[in-house]
Amino acid sequence: MTSHIFTNIVYLISALLFILGLKGLNSPETARRGQKMAALGMTMAIIGTLIQHEVVTYEWIIVGLVIGSIVGIGIAAWTPMTKMPERTALSHAFGALAAALVGVAEYYHGQDLNTVRMSAIGSEVMLGSLTFTGSMMAFGKLQGILPGSPWTYKGQNVFNVSLLAVIALIVIILVFFPSTSFLFYLGLVLALTFGVMLILPIGAADMPTVISILNSYAGISAALLGFALNNKILIIAGALDGASGFILSIIMCRAMNRSFTNVLFGAFGKITPPVDGAAAPEDTGNKQVHSGTPKEAAEIFKNSKSVIIVPGYGMAAAQAQHNVRELADILKAQGTDVKYAIHPVAGRMPGHMNVLLAEANVPYDVLFDMDDINPEFPDADVALVIGANDVTNPAARHDTASPIYGMPILDVDKAKHVMVVKRSMNPGFAGIENELYFNDRTMMVFGDAKTVVGNITKELNDLK
C-alpha cells in the first residue's frame, strides 16, 4: 500500500510536469525547456511504476524497454523532416497498438471484470484497434505504399456506420456478459477492419485532418485504459493528448471549410473529384496561361521590393526548402523584403511547412499565418507559389459551384505579380482547375520545384 501511495505521488508530479511541458509550447523560446520537464515527468513515472510491488518479474519488461528505446532512437535520428507526417502516423499506430494490447491482456487474465471495468476495457480495445489500423492506412497512403487517391464504393457510409454500430453493440453485450470471449475477439477483428474502411475513402491531401483525428483517438484510448485500470496519470495524459488532437482537428476543419460532424463521422470522401467535371476546364479553356522561364522570373524578382513566398506540399515533395531559402537570401541581399505565408493545411500535417522551413534555417519570425499575411498581399510585388494549389484558388471566394467554395485561402491573386512553380497543369487533389493560373498577372514556371527555384536563383545572381 505504501508503495502505491508513493507511486501515486510520483504520478501527480509527472502530470504537473506534462502540463508544464505543453504550456512551454506556447512559444518557441520556452518550448525546449518545457519538453525537458515533460521528459523528466515521463522518466519519473516509469521508475515509480517499476518499483511497485505488483511488478514481480523484470526480464520481459527490460526486453520491451530496450527494444522500444532502440527503435525510438533510430526513428528519431533518421527520419527526415519531410517524412514527419509519416512518422507521426506511425507513432499513433504504435500508441494505439500498445493501448489495445494492454486492454486485451487485461481482458485475457480477466480479474474482476465488473461493469465499469468491462465498459472501459471494451471501448478502449475497440478504439485502440481501429486507431491502429487507421493509422497504418494513413501511413501507407502518406508513404505511397497504398494509392493516395480516395477509394470509394457505393453504400460506403452505410456500411461503415453499420459496422461501427455492430462494434458498439458487441461492447454493450460484453458489459453485461463479460465472459463471452468470442464476442470480444470478434469485436476486436471488426474494429481492426473498421479502421481500414474508415481511411480508405480519404485522399492523401486530407491527411492533416486525419492525422489530427487519429491523434485525438489515440489519446482517448489511453484515457479509457486509465479508467479500466484506475490509473490517474493515464487519464490525465490521455485527456491532454485527446484535447490536443481535437483542437488540431477543429483548426484543420475550419481551414478546409468542413463541418466538424462531417469529419467526426469520417465522411472525408465527400470531396470527390468531379470525374466528369470537364465544366471548369472548358470554361477556362480559351483563356491564356502565361508560362515563363526562370530568367523572366528572375527579372521580375530583380525589380521587386517585397516578395511573399507561399509553400505547399510540392515544396516538401521536391525537398526544395533549402533552395527556397537560398533564393530568399539573395532577395534579402538586394534589399527585398521576404515573408512566408503558410496556410493551416499546407503540407500533410499541421505545422509541417514551418518545420521544413525551420530546417532550412528560415527564421521563424518571417513565417506568417494566413490571417496575418492576407492583408499584405495587395502591397506585395511578387507572390511566389511553390507547390501549393487549392489553398490559393480564388474560386473558393466567389464560385459557389466549386467544391472548395468557402474554404479560406491565401489571397495571392491580389499581389502585383503571381509566380507559380508547378510540375504541370494537373489539377490538385480536389480535381479543380485553379483560376489563379489563368490570371493575367500570373506567370507559370513549369518544372520540379527544386530545379526551378535553383535556376531562378542562378539567373538572379547573373543579373547582378
- Positions in 42-81 near another protein (CB under 8 A): 42, 45-46, 49-50, 52, 54-58, 60-61, 63-65, 67-69, 71-73, 75-77, 79, 81
Q: Does 115 bind another protein (CB under 8 A)?
A: yes
Q: Does 200 bind another protein (CB under 8 A)?
A: no
Q: Does 182 bind another protein (CB under 8 A)?
A: no
Q: Does 154 bind another protein (CB under 8 A)?
A: no
Q: Does 159 bind another protein (CB under 8 A)?
A: no
Q: At what angle do helices 181-199 and 115-143 cross, to 10 degrees?
A: 30
**Smallest Cα–Cα separation from 210: which of 98, 81, 86, 392?**
86
Cβ–Cβ < 8 Å for 328, 403: no
Residues between 354 and 383 that touch another protein (CB under 8 A): 354-355, 358-359, 361-367, 369
Q: Is 227 helix (H, G, I), strand (E, B) or coil?
A: helix
Minimum separation from the CB atom of position 350 to another protein (A): 4
Note if 390 is an active site residue: yes
Query: Cβ-count burial of 299 within 10 angstroms (0-12 exposed, 13-18 middle, 19+ buried)?
Result: middle
Q: Which of 329, 371, 381, 390 is catalytic?
A: 390
**Cell output for 376:** 499584405
Is the CB of 125 or the CB of 418 nearer to another protein? 125
| φ/ψ of residue 266, rounded to 5 | 70, 25
Residues between 301 and 340 that touch another protein (CB under 8 A): 325, 328-329, 332-333, 335
Among 104, 171, 198, 207, binds another protein (CB under 8 A): 104
**Smallest Cα–Cα separation from 417: which of 388, 382, 445?**
382
- The rounded distance, in Å, linking the Cα atoms of 114 and 116 is 6
**160 contacts: CB under 8 Å, gap ≥ 6:** 194, 197, 198, 266
**364 contacts: CB under 8 Å, gap ≥ 6:** 28, 354, 358
Select the span of 86-94, 148-156, 163-171, 264-272 touching another protein (CB under 8 A).
86-94
Is the CB of 15 or the CB of 443 nearer to another protein? 15
Minimum separation from the CB atom of position 287 to another protein (A): 34
Query: Cβ-count burial of 278 within 10 angstroms (0-12 exposed, 13-18 middle, 19+ buried)?
Result: exposed
Using CB under 8 A as the criterion, what x/- string covers residues 9-48 for binding another protein? -----xx--xx-xxx-xxxx--xx--x--xx--x--xx--
Query: Cβ-count burial of 337 within 10 angstroms (0-12 exposed, 13-18 middle, 19+ buried)?
Result: middle
Minimum separation from the CB atom of position 83 to another protein (A): 11
Select the span of 115-123, 155-163, 428-436, 437-445 touching another protein (CB under 8 A).
115-123
Is the CB of 228 or the CB of 436 nearer to another protein? 228
Q: Does 258 bind another protein (CB under 8 A)?
A: no
Is the CB of 258 or the CB of 325 nearer to another protein? 325
Among 137, 188, 233, 384, binds another protein (CB under 8 A): 233
**Cell output for 321:** 526548402
Minimum separation from the CB atom of position 34 to another protein (A): 8
Cβ–Cβ < 8 Å for 156, 269: yes
Minimum separation from the CB atom of position 211 to another protein (A): 7
Cβ–Cβ < 8 Å for 331, 338: yes
Give the residue numbers marked as catalytic.
Answer: 390
